[in-house]
Structure 1
Amino acid sequence: MRKKFPVRSSAATGALALLLAGAISAGPLDAAATETKAEPPKVPTSTGYGGAVSSLDPVVSEIGLQMLRRGGNATDAAVAMAAAIGVTDPYSAGIGGGGFFVHYDAASGEVETIDGRETAPSAIEHDAFIDPATGKSYPFYPDLVTGGVSVGVPGTPATWERALDRWGTRSLSEALRPATNVAEEGFVVDKLFYEQTLLNQARFQALTSTSDLFLPGGQAPAIGSVFRNPDLAQTYRTIANGGVEAFYEGALAQDIAAAVQAPPVAAGTTLPVPAGSMTAEDLAAYEVVDRDPVSVSYRGYDIFGMAPPASGGTTVGETLNILEQFDLGSQDDPAVLHHYIEASALAFADRAAYLGDGDFVDVPVAGLLDDTFAKERACLLDPTTAAAKPVTAGDARSYDGVCATPGAEGIVPEDTESPSTTNLTAVDRWGNVVEYTLTLEQIGGSGIVVPGRGFILNNELTDFSIEYSATDPNRLEAGKRPRSSMAPTIVLEDGRPVLALGSPGGSQIINTVTQMLINRIDLGMTIEEAIAAPRAAPQNSVRTIAEQAFVDSYGTALTGYGHTLRPTANAIGAATAIEIGPGGRLTAVAEPTRLGGGSARVVWPAGS
């Protein structure tokens, strides 16, 4: 018998109940709701009814909550939250970046997605990252990270417009209003914002517009101070008044292109800040893509995610398909985690071999997610002993489920995808669900603030393979979208949503989402336990990166299987999730400690 998601019974705190008390109206969101500079509470878990939100920032979650309380739906809340992220977490996401938007429509019962990934400029050359003097790739840091050469055409504003047009009830102007207010009035600087500013100090000092905004007086804004971004507030007003055309055409598009082609380099800087080739015509030509989701069935649940150019949906799905060949429910935790590490290695080998932008390369999605292919790959998983890493990719275009002889040692390509990005989750009173992951790539993106506009441009083109190969599915090409590990995921049972989750973290996003699903479904953890549990990030390497708490808990047992763990002081992922239980009871969770903890809120707290 498969395990069901049980009903939750924990109640929200009295303080939260008082904060959220009040009637819900159908009127537009009032900007005055966010005028206070007092930080909303960080609440890692909330239970209740009537809708819920979860993000990594309390101001963002407060804005989403207020949108739901005033009658907005999950899409309205998600767009308002994403706009606020561009203000309070500008180094992770914003209108200068892109992302993937996954939506469950309660009326139709369908899961639908929007691909708002950035695209390579039309004039970029496939050897843009190669030093002609040496014939070798430029060093990733510092040469490629900062500057215009790595900036892709942003997709985030177009994603917001498309989502609201398809599923929203509020205008883009209304959705932008609360974030505009926060940008104008300011927010309280926390430890994470301060530390990420310091992390980027050398890069930011190399660019005049960036240092003027984020290093006032040459220093990072102090913890507890109020940070304001009036230029971004005005940019949001420009988009609110003119629609996304005001971003992709006209003066704003010209400013973006100029910043890419001639970055505002500070006098005397020694940091490489290479120029890019993006034009205003590239911006005007950008389009989001409505894509069918990918899905797999796992122990009675239907797991939906993003199709290529995202690699998250297929790699999470393939890992689960391989694991489904084994009875994990009868095994202890170390045995389950051994299977997780081995299945992940096999799926990551296939990710490297096949995943790229499906509009440019032939990605065998059907094969990668076929149960017969999973059975064939599972033959290589020894339940008692770790395989030598890296393992080789399978043949996702020709398979019959018959166990194959392991091939020669595989290759792990260099992965330059940054463990930055952010994620949010929203569920409304009607049962609509949004899982949205958005990013700038590096923490601080390209480092370029568009002068006078208040936002950072992405450096997503570094997600392409740095060295060009005609056989590499993730090779750099004009107009192409780089491969992404983002994995916004919605889980259905009997056609109804029971869980939505996602995470930032670069390629470790895939591990975070997969491990949370295993924790919840196979290990029987509550969703609160599943998000808090220590994590490992197996990616087909000789050593598996793992949080210290994971090493402390499972290191000895997993060493017995032949695994080598490499502890990291950094958090692996920073997830958000909402579980939908019987009777519409919602359990919203955010990270309790990673990256300082997130904030999960419900409209009507249980027990209030």
Structure 2
Amino acid sequence: MLFAVLATTCLLAHAADTAHTKTVAIASANAAATEAGLETLRKGGNAVDAAIAVATSLSVVQPEASGLGGGFLALIHNAATGKDTFIDAREMAPQAVSTADYVNKDGSPNRDTSLNGPLAAGIPGSPAGLAYMAKKYGKLPLKVSLAPAIRLADEGFHPTRSLAASIKHRADVLGRYPASSAKFMPGGNPAVSTDLFRDPDQAQTLKTIAEKGAPGFYTGIVAEEMVRAVKAAGGTWTMADLASYRAHERTPITVDYAGYKVITAPPPSSGGVAVAEILNILRGIDLKNMDQVHRIHYLVEAMRRAFRDHNEYLGDPDFVSMPMDMLLSPFYADGLRQSILPERATSSSWLPAAHAPEPGMHTTHFSIIDKDGNMVSMTCTVNTTLGSAFVAGKSGVLLNNEMDDFALVAGKPNAFGLIGGSANAPVGGKRMLSSMTPSFVIGKDRLAVIGSPGGSTIITQVLEGILAFIDGKNAGEITAQKRIHHQYLPDRIDVESGSLPADVLGKLKAMGYEINDRESWGNMNVVVWDKSTNVKSAASDPRSHDGLGKVESIH
């Protein structure tokens, strides 16, 4: 069971820049996290400092989707230098990883060990990535940027309905582990929205990081407690695994489309490569002047081909040689475009084979533009709802279950239905492939900071958001628009319930498409800056009741 919450539209505040005021814009999945970012900006921080405040606050108030025990991918734009850079804080496999731990006796994937408990957890990247960003690109010390999260954890907050539902859903697994039960089910009952939820153990870990930086998490008493708890519950982490973790700075992927520059995530994200490949295919197609049926047809066929390549080629760039020149080449895209039949669906089985349950909705994304034009697009994750459901002892850190994002059993789908081969096979120290796709879209007079959670659907959500922005839609329209998704396997179009007229569905079926009607998915957060009017706008996905997109004047 997955939780994609339908609710009322989030509060939006719009304010125009003038000669006397400058505005900042933040859109995140939780109102308290957005306010934490704004608080940090008011204290003189920049977009990076605000991102650190938002990310750590989400670790406290939205643990079902992200946290210190997970990882993130982030794009940063430095307004003063014009430089764009990518921070890779993806989790990595412990050195003692063994595929035997994730396979049943009959050779099938063991979903319990890959999704639940300490064997499911990769070495977290978030604390290292946040400390790296603060030191190299921030203006404030960590003790200032982490202060809102520490206050939330110490003083407490009321769980959102989404968090309460996630705890209830994972109660059986949480109940296996004393620290998990103590954190999420005090008194033996799942926390509910009326409870005042305090997290003193995570507060202490945050204070240690604020004082000591990344070493406060990866060495010393916090690391010792996490390793002790993991090993006691059957995991394989060592102190050396934690001490060896480093965040990496990488070069973003850039692709031009329809007069806009799209800046997006490189591997170990698969998302940026897929988005670039899809846009290169669509570059030779006049989508704007097509009827709805054929627009969907060409979008889906481009998605199908990009996801096939995703499954075949992509992995951790520190371990795998990938044909990036080919995948990002417009000439390669020309050939893929020529293989699309204008009036008929391509069966995925007709394409060369690639080494593919419903896509998950957890992970979180936020978008920030500060008063000076610095930008951050950041997607954070613990993988599926509440990650591994394993809290590492008195550290208070809820661990991820990102090991399932490896191709643990070749040719078998992971929790998101994605199939991988040797490029994404688990190796000690290797980072698992991700769908996270934080992106910027830059035009002559308008720009957008965009991203979303949603497992494998992240890629298509971001793609459709980019196209909507290029078509002139504003932040609220981008987050609210209905979505479609195709990922090569399973060979079907997922269609957001009620989004397409019956005649359009009928024509797509006549072309050979299988249609899967689904409830809403994703939780997109977008910031748009219209430089022609000097107005920033921020919007959070109306499908979620927890988010807040806000614009505020900062003097």
Cα distance change of structure 1 residues 53 and 109 upon mapping to structure 2, 3 Å threshold: same
Q: 1:354-394 CA deviation, whole Å, 9 max, x = no partner?
A: 111111111112211111111111111223221112452xx
Corresponding residue for 2:397?
A: 455
Superposition RMSD on alpha carbons, in Å?
2.1
Tell me whether 1:598 sits opposite 2:534 in the alignment.
no
Tell me whether 1:260 sits opposite 2:230 in the alignment.
yes
Shift of 1:149: 1.2
Cα distance change of structure 1 residues 580 and 519 upon mapping to structure 2, 3 Å threshold: same
Corresponding residue for 1:389?
A: 348
Corresponding residue for 1:337?
A: 296
* Unmatched segments (≥5 aa) in structure 1: 1-40, 264-274, 393-406
Larger mean CA deviation between 382-391 and 485-494 belongs to 382-391
Corresponding residue for 2:437?
A: 487
Give the residue type in structure 1 aligned to 2:484.
A
Shift of 1:233: 1.1
Compare CA radii of gyration and give the structure with the larger one: 1
Find the aligned partners of 1:282 and 1:597 in 2 and give their Cα distance. Answer: 35
Shift of 1:58: 0.6
Corresponding residue for 2:98?
A: 125
Cα distance change of structure 1 residues 531 and 537 upon mapping to structure 2, 3 Å threshold: same
Corresponding residue for 1:474?
A: 424
Cα distance change of structure 1 residues 183 and 345 upon mapping to structure 2, 3 Å threshold: same
SS class of match (1:227): coil
SS class of match (2:304): helix
Cα distance change of structure 1 residues 439 and 391 upon mapping to structure 2, 3 Å threshold: farther
Question: Of the candidates 60, 76, 80, which is equivalent to residue 49 of structure 2?
Answer: 76
Find the aligned partners of 1:48 and 1:66 in 2 and give their Cα distance. Answer: 20
- Map 1:117-516; keep pairs closer than 5 Å: 117-131=90-104, 133-134=105-106, 136-140=107-111, 142-263=112-233, 275-392=234-351, 407=352, 410-411=353-354, 414=356, 418-468=360-410, 472-494=422-444, 498-516=447-465
Give the residue type in structure 2 aligned to 1:422.
T
SS class of match (2:24): strand
Find the aligned partners of 2:287 and 2:13 in 1 and give their Cα distance. Answer: 28
Find the aligned partners of 1:330 and 1:507 in 2 and give their Cα distance. Answer: 29
Find the aligned partners of 2:230 and 2:12 in 1 and give their Cα distance. Answer: 39
Q: 1:433-471 CA deviation, whole Å, 9 max, x = no partner?
A: 000001011111111112122220111111001214896
Cα distance change of structure 1 residues 297 and 287 upon mapping to structure 2, 3 Å threshold: same
Find the aligned partners of 1:416 and 1:448 in 2 and give their Cα distance. Answer: 23
8 Å CA contact retained: 1:589, 1:599: yes
Find the aligned partners of 1:207 and 1:555 in 2 and give their Cα distance. Answer: 47
Give the residue type in structure 2 aligned to 1:442.
T
SS class of match (2:191): coil
Cα distance change of structure 1 residues 151 and 563 upon mapping to structure 2, 3 Å threshold: same
Shift of 1:313: 0.5
Find the aligned partners of 1:290 and 1:279 in 2 and give their Cα distance. Answer: 25
Q: TM-score, normalised by structure 1?
A: 0.84
Tell me whether 1:111 sits opposite 2:84 in the alignment.
yes
Shift of 1:129: 1.7
8 Å CA contact retained: 2:153, 2:199: yes
8 Å CA contact retained: 2:387, 2:401: yes
Q: 1:534-569 CA deviation, whole Å, 9 max, x = no partner?
A: 111111132222220224574234334332211122
- Map 1:575-590; keep pairs closer than 5 Å: 575-582=524-531, 583-590=533-540
Cα distance change of structure 1 residues 390 and 577 upon mapping to structure 2, 3 Å threshold: farther
Find the aligned partners of 2:75 and 2:367 in 1 and give their Cα distance. Answer: 10
Find the aligned partners of 2:254 and 2:469 in 1 and give their Cα distance. Answer: 18
Give the residue type in structure 2 aligned to 1:445.
G
Larger mean CA deviation between 292-301 and 544-553 belongs to 544-553
Q: 1:68-124 CA deviation, whole Å, 9 max, x = no partner?
A: 233221001010000000010012111101010110111111110110001111121
Shift of 1:44: 4.3
Find the aligned partners of 1:350 and 1:47 in 2 and give their Cα distance. Answer: 43
Corresponding residue for 1:23?
A: none
Find the aligned partners of 1:279 and 1:416 in 2 and give their Cα distance. Answer: 34
Find the aligned partners of 1:515 and 1:47 in 2 and give their Cα distance. Answer: 26
Q: TM-score, normalised by structure 2?
A: 0.91
Find the aligned partners of 1:558 and 1:550 in 2 and give their Cα distance. Answer: 14
Give the residue type in structure 1 aligned to 2:213.
G
Cα distance change of structure 1 residues 471 and 462 upon mapping to structure 2, 3 Å threshold: closer
Tell me whether 1:548 sits opposite 2:497 in the alignment.
yes
Find the aligned partners of 1:255 and 1:468 in 2 and give their Cα distance. Answer: 34
Find the aligned partners of 1:170 and 1:260 in 2 and give their Cα distance. Answer: 33
Corresponding residue for 1:97?
A: 70
Tell me whether 1:538 sits opposite 2:486 in the alignment.
yes
Find the aligned partners of 1:45 and 1:196 in 2 and give their Cα distance. Answer: 29
SS class of match (2:378): strand
SS class of match (2:256): strand
Find the aligned partners of 2:446 and 2:325 in 1 and give their Cα distance. Answer: 23
The count of corresponding residues between Structure 1 and Structure 2 is 531
Aligned-pair identity in percent equals 32
Cα distance change of structure 1 residues 214 and 391 upon mapping to structure 2, 3 Å threshold: farther
Find the aligned partners of 2:38 and 2:63 in 1 and give their Cα distance. Answer: 21
Give the residue type in structure 2 aligned to 1:113.
F
8 Å CA contact retained: 1:187, 1:226: yes
Shift of 1:481: 0.3
Q: 1:193-223 CA deviation, whole Å, 9 max, x = no partner?
A: 1111111111111111101110112212222
SS class of match (1:222): coil
8 Å CA contact retained: 2:483, 2:495: yes
Find the aligned partners of 1:323 and 1:68 in 2 and give their Cα distance. Answer: 39
Corresponding residue for 2:36?
A: 63
Cα distance change of structure 1 residues 97 and 382 upon mapping to structure 2, 3 Å threshold: same
8 Å CA contact retained: 2:47, 2:374: yes
Q: 1:573-605 CA deviation, whole Å, 9 max, x = no partner?
A: 11111111124310111111x232521011139
8 Å CA contact retained: 1:468, 1:476: no
Shift of 1:162: 0.8
Q: 1:18-62 CA deviation, whole Å, 9 max, x = no partner?
A: xxxxxxxxxxxxxxxxxxxxxxx9414644341110001111111
